[in-house]
Amino acid sequence: MAVPSTALFTDQYELTMLQAALRGGTADRRSVFEVFTRRLPEGRRYGVVAGTGRVLDAVENFRFDEPQLAFLRERGIVDEATLAWLAEYRFRGDVWGYPEGEVYFPGSPILRVEGSFAECVLLETVILSILNHDSAIAAAASRMSAAAGGRGLIEMGARRTHELAAVAAARAAYVGGFDSTSDLAAGFRYGIPTVGTSAHAFILLHDTERDAFRVQVDALGRGTTLLVDTYDVTEAVRTAVEVAGPELGAVRIDSGDLLLVAHRVRQQLDELGARDTRIVVTSDLDEYAIASLAAAPVDAYGVGTQLVTGSGHPTASMVYKLVARADSADPAAPLRPVAKRSLGGKASVGGRKWAARRLDAHGVAEAEVVGTGEVPAELAGRQLLTRLVEAGKVVAREPLEAARERHIAARAGLPLSAVQLSRGEAVLPTEYVTP
């Protein structure tokens, strides 16, 4: 699963800009790039930072080995002087960012990359590729988690996306509040709990449903989950309890009117003495479907397609922009704010930024405050950016569980309207403070 080099996970113009900057004498100018989004997806109240740990891995592995250099040389993409520079490339700058699992809003400086123009500009594409994908998945997962109200959530979208994207999606879903995944590669790579028992094919393989249930229980134990909607749900539930007894772990329903069927199955299980047998539902669920099942006796939800596609918003629309630069490589040279001036909503705000979250008298977040210059004393203890990389060395690796717990706490600190599924604006305004 490991990728030996991430250097070519980039767009060609990063390298052609590098060549021109090297030739023009501006490649070494001290620069500050920031990742942010100008807007949240329509109707979303907050975003979720996810993929930070993968970004740190990508930055560490961003190096040009001989196969990559040979490819660039054969294609004539850059000249020999640039190839020689790339052969020695290692990121030696600093990275600051919102810690993984934190929430963000339009204009939040989610990631700040500092170093020479040359070493920072090369990282643009791979950083955006990771953060845009993972943050979109985590935001959808968070909404589903809030809608589930503490009931179990299983990520099961591996067959609905690229095989490597599936692993990243499972990781991001775990950050956003999911409890487990069906994808073994995600469990192997990131330690996420894995689950899974059987599909309809297993039932159809056998002469009768009873035969299939008996074989599964014999192989996996009475605590297994039996799929009960292949033929007739009522008959299947009866057979399942007869085969496994009241110790049956769970039944899964994958079709039909889930609200109605779940109520009927719960009543039937209770009447058969299987009061502790759980009910798991699947079948094209999203946050709205999960919310509609709040009154149903459901114990866990399995979500696939809608989760790994961001529930209709597969990207977080983040950008990576140069916001400040010096006239030289001298660390003491003053940074000049720079920004794109553009029509059509693509203008950006210049300057090296800090961010803090202001709370109201009840300790609930009331504004995302973004500024340049000195941080106001009253916000000094509420700053959001933490150092992730110092002088090229990763200094902030953490267990995935820490990001998951951070997200739960961050979401809980927002106004209650943050978890409403009705359309609305960002739950916090972004306020800009300038010297």
The pLDDT tens digits along the chain (435 residues) read 456 799 999 999 999 999 999 999 999 999 999 999 999 999 899 999 999 999 999 999 999 999 999 999 999 999 999 999 999 999 999 999 999 999 999 999 999 999 999 999 999 999 999 999 999 999 999 999 999 999 999 999 999 999 999 999 999 999 999 999 999 999 999 999 999 999 999 999 999 999 999 999 999 999 999 999 999 999 999 999 999 999 999 999 999 999 999 999 999 999 999 999 999 999 999 999 999 999 999 999 999 999 999 999 999 999 999 999 999 999 899 999 999 887 666 778 899 999 999 999 999 999 999 999 999 999 999 999 999 999 999 999 999 999 999 999 999 999 999 999 988 899 999 999 988
CATH number of the structural domain spanning residue 297: 3.20.20.70
Do 416 and 321 belong together in one domain? yes
Residue 6, domain member (yes or no): no
* Strand ranges for 85-220 from DSSP E: 94-97, 103-104, 111-116, 152-155, 180-181
Do 306 and 403 belong together in one domain? no
Q: Which 3 state secondary structure label does DSSP give 176?
A: coil
CATH number of the structural domain spanning residue 55: 3.20.140.10
CA–CA gap between residue 420 and residue 432 (Å, rounded): 26
Residue 165, domain member (yes or no): yes
Do 287 and 341 belong together in one domain? no
Do 396 and 416 belong together in one domain? yes
Query: Tens digit of pLDDT for each residue in 123-157?
Result: 999 999 999 999 999 999 999 999 999 999 999 99
Do 215 and 94 belong together in one domain? no
CB 407 within 8 A of CB 142: yes
Do 336 and 228 belong together in one domain? no
Residue 96, domain member (yes or no): yes
Do 271 and 153 belong together in one domain? yes
As a residue count, the chain comes to 435
Do 153 and 297 belong together in one domain? yes
Q: Return the closest-CA partner of residue 131 out of 181, 168, 92.
A: 168
Do 203 and 57 belong together in one domain? no
CB 178 within 8 A of CB 168: no
- pLDDT of the residue at 1: 47
Termini Cα distance of the chain: 47
CA–CA gap between residue 337 and residue 371 (Å, rounded): 12
Give the CA distances from residue 104 to residues 257, 265, 347, 397, in Å, rounded to whole numbers and listed in that order. Answer: 36, 41, 19, 20
Residue 126, domain member (yes or no): yes
CA–CA gap between residue 252 and residue 299 (Å, rounded): 10
Query: Which residues, including other chains, have CB under 8 Å from residue 428's CB and lie 6 or more apart?
Result: 46, 105, 357, 365, 366, 367, 368, 414, 415
Residue 378, domain member (yes or no): yes
pTM of the model: 0.95
Last residue of a domain, one of 291, 310, 329: 310
Do 291 and 319 belong together in one domain? no
- Give me the residues paired with residue 278 across strands: 250
Residue 219, domain member (yes or no): yes
* Strand ranges for 199-273 from DSSP E: 225-227, 250-253
Do 116 and 206 belong together in one domain? no
- pLDDT of the residue at 341: 81
> 49 lies in which domain range?
12-136+313-433
Give the CA distances from residue 132 to residues 171, 190, 348, in Å, rounded to whole numbers and listed in that order. Answer: 14, 19, 18
Query: Tens digit of pLDDT for each residue in 326-341?
Result: 999 998 999 999 998 8
Residue 7, domain member (yes or no): no
Last residue of a domain, one of 285, 310, 335: 310
CA–CA gap between residue 205 and residue 231 (Å, rounded): 13
413: amino acid identity, one letter: G
Do 161 and 301 belong together in one domain? yes
* Number of structural domains in the chain: 2
HEC letters along 253-322: ECCCCHHHHHHHHHHHHHHCCCCCCEEEECCCCCHHHHHHCCCCCCCEEEECHHHHCHHHCCCCCEEEEE
Last residue of a domain, one of 310, 344, 375: 310
Residue 213, domain member (yes or no): yes
